[in-house]
Amino acid sequence: MAIKGNLVVGQSGGPTVVINQSLVGVVEEALLHADIQGIYGSRNGLEGTMREDFIEMRKQSRSTLDDVAETPSASLGSCRFKPKEDDCRKIFEIFAKHNVRYFFYIGGNDSALSTGIIHNIAKEKNYELNVFHVPKTIDNDLLVTDHCPGYGSAAKYVAQAFMGNDLDNRALKGVKIDVCMGRNAGWLTAASALARTRADDGPHLIYFPERRYTLVQILEDIEKVYLANGRVSVAVSEGTPDLDGYVFLESDRIRAELKDLKMESIVGVMDASGRVEEESGGAKKDAFGHTQLSGTGALADFLAAATKIHMFRKTGKKIRCRADTLGYAQRSFAGVVSPSDALEARECGRAAVRAAVTTEHTSGSIILRRHSSTFGKYLCDCEVAPLEDVSGVNFPKGMKQYRPMDDKFIAVWGNDVTSEFIEWARPLLGPLPTKGLLEDYPIK
Amino acid sequence: MAIKGNLVVGQSGGPTVVINQSLVGVVEEALLHADIQGIYGSRNGLEGTMREDFIEMRKQSRSTLDDVAETPSASLGSCRFKPKEDDCRKIFEIFAKHNVRYFFYIGGNDSALSTGIIHNIAKEKNYELNVFHVPKTIDNDLLVTDHCPGYGSAAKYVAQAFMGNDLDNRALKGVKIDVCMGRNAGWLTAASALARTRADDGPHLIYFPERRYTLVQILEDIEKVYLANGRVSVAVSEGTPDLDGYVFLESDRIRAELKDLKMESIVGVMDASGRVEEESGGAKKDAFGHTQLSGTGALADFLAAATKIHMFRKTGKKIRCRADTLGYAQRSFAGVVSPSDALEARECGRAAVRAAVTTEHTSGSIILRRHSSTFGKYLCDCEVAPLEDVSGVNFPKGMKQYRPMDDKFIAVWGNDVTSEFIEWARPLLGPLPTKGLLEDYPIK
């Protein structure tokens, strides 16, 4: 609710190409409300707050803000810092010292969690602090919201990459595997299907973290499509379960076999040490206890090698097998932005400030609610959800604190999306590039 | 010269996002000349010609041609086929049988070579055949021409990827290494510098195939920039000499060391088998005798691991080190196209047909000649160069048959481009995305 005081805004977690839209949304809306005095940007999220490292946002010119809004990655700097209870108390003390009455944290579900802890401390101290979480993640795995700002643009990048991949694979036939980000949710990998326009367009196979596959299953799928179609484009989520285990357990065998077949120079095989902890057999965790999935080409290289061997065994031919790991470009490539994603990210920032200055809420997470209109036109607006519902902090133990893909969006056979997914996701990307293929008029 | 007969056009080698512009350029110019009768597209380059697999280009609608021109990758299909003398004789027979009097081959220097062999056979048989090579390669390593159609758009992709990378690296500081394509020439890797606008923008270090570095040198460069700047973005060409050897020789040591330091889970280490032939100690060759450099994440993963260890030894800290291999997106990502590249690719196709119907030439390679105007405005037009000069077939043994980066484009210290390179390359990309950073107004 409206109380005179200062505002702090911060950005957290992996960047997106529209996270600065949300930042500028917070700032430009804050400029409209007389109760909000200083507008402080906290550098590197709450890490900056801990060391009182703030910059003045009121002094930024309109043209700076306009340019920053269109610029990928977190302009205030980001962090991978998950404050403990003690850190949150220190952050609260700093807020109180600076008469901060408004705090906006743009990030994923860990940011919602940190925001909630700080809010509780303020309540306990009887200090009026309006705290709001502004959603952001390319993984699209936040609870409650229809989808997450950042997803549409990352999905557009992935769709355009697969469009190019598919055309490349048409021109030079073979097996092409691409590993996509998304942690334990398949949303971003599923976006690989969104540029398909013809029945034979790739990706022809999509593997999701939400389903389990054996390596043999995947290789047989690839073989089947290749034999029918003469080529295959495959999308694999970095979080697809068991695959890390295969990389760990089977790299030596694959390497030895490649050597036997004198194919060792054709594709690389990763040692598993990059992705799997030998001691525990489990994968490495990051600061938040999440499994670290990105950052190496291990899975892609392993799959290309395993496919190469499988296809040689089945066909007697050395089939062209290539794999790419799409990498950081998915979250920060400059110049591929979904217009609706940019707009919604901006609007989420503004909506958070509007919610904070009303009497209805002193905390919450901004969510996007989708409305279906009679004309099937896509329409979303912003609402406020309780922080606890978004952070999942009060969930019963064992319940997922993130949102996996809905069952209805994954084909029953597990290696493709459904048309419902296409319908749901397509409006989030905006226009895709032109695609034309020559008509087949053979000459006798 | 003008003679009544049919035309064959084909596409060869790794695709680009504008190779279809050249195809459509050939077709639309051919439609204007009465002597040209059938306009046949040869599927998968000369592979299709060998099996008489042609499609009728006259029947393609204007809108199909317009869409195809804007579509990445080779719409006729491509090939990695380098015809031998016997194959060329067979191709000539097929041309003669179909009364083909015009042949256009869109590709790299191997295509120029094949085209030249076919032309010589026709001359020897006293058969009038107009054969022209239309240049294409993202590597920009063709001789004679100022630059190659395909390069500008790939360079734009790389520049935008590094712009995003740099902003990502600003937000979450650490070491980020990106491996770029380009075979034995550094042109595409050099493009990583083209989105820099501020003194501290990355990439901060660029490693070229045209220079030699020891691994220690690279690691010390990275350390120096990191210590001065708090972060580093590094561009490495896949063709940088010796690095493959390091991957081969040092992977086991790096892996063991990571394990000792209990950092093995943080970044992956590739086994060298993906990139180096054990027997010869040399790298794997493709069908053209070229070293196969792309297609695995080995080099990137190795460099990230080696950097991690080096930085830990020097600073005692586990610094965030990540590496990506930019992959096929560099040559086929849909939606990132340089307008001047698209225009020039189209124009090269048209110029080839115009050259073929004049009396001046019966063979040649289209090149781009750059003119400097008094206003410093960028201006290129098409000329015809002898096929032998472009294919390098008559070069003395040992002389490079491709064009490495000019010395004046590489900084004397070997790990950056010069401002001359920026000036030379910048017009080839067209507009780059907006980039804005917040101004530093600290709060006391």
Q: B177 in contact with A at a CB cutoff of 8 Å?
A: no
Q: How far is A373 from chain B (nearest CA, A)?
A: 31
Q: What is the structure's pLDDT at A290?
A: 37
pLDDT for res B235: 98
B97 shares contact with chain A (CB less than 8 Å): no
Q: Chain B residue with minimal CA distance to A251? A: B271
Which residues of chain A does B298 touch, with a Cβ-Cβ cutoff of 8 Å? 268, 270, 297, 301
**Pairwise pLDDT comparison (B46 vs B261), residue with the higher score:** B46
Q: Is A71 close to B434, i.e. CB distance below 8 A?
A: yes
Query: Shortest Cα distance from A126 to chain B (angstroms)?
Result: 26
Q: Which of residues 36-75 of A touch B (CB under 8 A)?
A: 38, 40-41, 44, 53-57, 59-61, 63-75
Distance from CA of A405 to the nearest CA of B (A): 26
Q: Which of B192, B282, B160, B286 is nearest to A72 (CA)?
A: B160
Nearest CA in chain A to B301: A296
pTM score above 0.90: yes
Query: Are the beta carbons of B441 and A66 separated by less than 8 Å?
Result: no
Which residues 226-255 of B have a C-beta within 8 angstroms of A? 251, 255
The pLDDT of residue A335 is 97
Q: What pLDDT is recorded for position B1? A: 62
pLDDT of B278 above 60: no
* Per-chain mean pLDDT for chain B: 90
With CB atoms and an 8 Å threshold, state whether A328 touches B55.
Answer: no
Give the distance from residue B219's alpha carbon to the nearest chain A alpha carbon, in angstroms.
19
How far apart are alpha carbons A58 and A70 in whole angstroms?
19
Tens digits of per-residue pLDDT, A117-148?
A: 999 999 999 999 999 999 999 999 999 999 99
Please tell me the predicted confidence (pLDDT) of residue B264.
53
Residue entry with tokens 């097996």? A175
Model pLDDT, residue A277: 27
Tell me if B270 and A297 make a contact (CB, 8 A cut-off): yes
List average pLDDT for each run of 10 residues in chain A, which is 444 residues long: 92 97 98 97 97 97 98 97 94 97 95 94 96 97 96 98 97 97 96 96 97 96 97 96 82 78 48 28 37 64 91 92 95 97 98 94 95 77 94 80 95 97 96 95 88
Q: What does each C-alpha distance from B165 to A16, A108, A332, B201, B329 come to in angstroms? A: 11, 20, 6, 10, 15
| B39-53 pLDDT, tens digit each | 999 999 999 999 999
Interchain proximity A432–B335, CB inside 8 Å: yes
For chains A and B, CB pairs below 8 A equal 337
Catalytic residues of A: 139
ipTM: 0.92
Q: Half-sphere exposure (CA, 13 Å, Cβ side) for B257?
A: 17
**Cα A36 to Cα A58: distance, rounded to the nearest angstrom:** 11
Chain A residues with beta carbon closer than 8 angstroms to that of B68: 436-438
Interchain pair B328, A324: CB under 8 A: yes
* Partner-chain residue, chosen from B14, B71, B329, that has the shortest CB–CB distance to A329: B329
Query: What is the DSSP code (8-state) at residue B201?
Result: P
Quick one: pLDDT at residue B252? Answer: 76
CA distance to A423, B38, B78, B130, B372, per residue, from A170 (Å)? 26, 25, 9, 29, 40
Beta A378-385 vs A363-372: how paired, if at all?
A: antiparallel
Q: What's the pLDDT tens digit per position in B3-24?
A: 999 999 999 999 999 999 999 9
Which of A80, A259, A267 comes nearest B296 by C-beta? Answer: A267
Q: Which residue of B has its CA nearest to A72?
A: B164
Residue B64: pLDDT above 70? yes
Q: Is A167 on the interface with B (CB under 8 A)?
A: yes
The encoded tokens of residue B71 equal 């579509």
Paired sense of beta strands B130-135 and B36-42, if any: unpaired
How far apart, in whole angstroms, are the C-alpha atoms of residue B202 and residue B168? Answer: 11
**List of E strands, B208-337:** 232-237, 321-325
- In chain A, which among 143-162 make CB contacts under 8 A with chain B? 160-161
The residue from B87, B139, B201, B341 that is catalytic is B139
The residue behind tokens 């006259």 is B58
Q: How many CB atoms lie within 10 A of CB A442?
A: 10
Interchain contact, B334 vs A433, CB within 8 Å:
yes
Residue A283: list chain B partners with CB under 8 A: 265
**Chain A nearest C-alpha distance from B432 (Å):** 8
Residue B437 carries which DSSP code? -
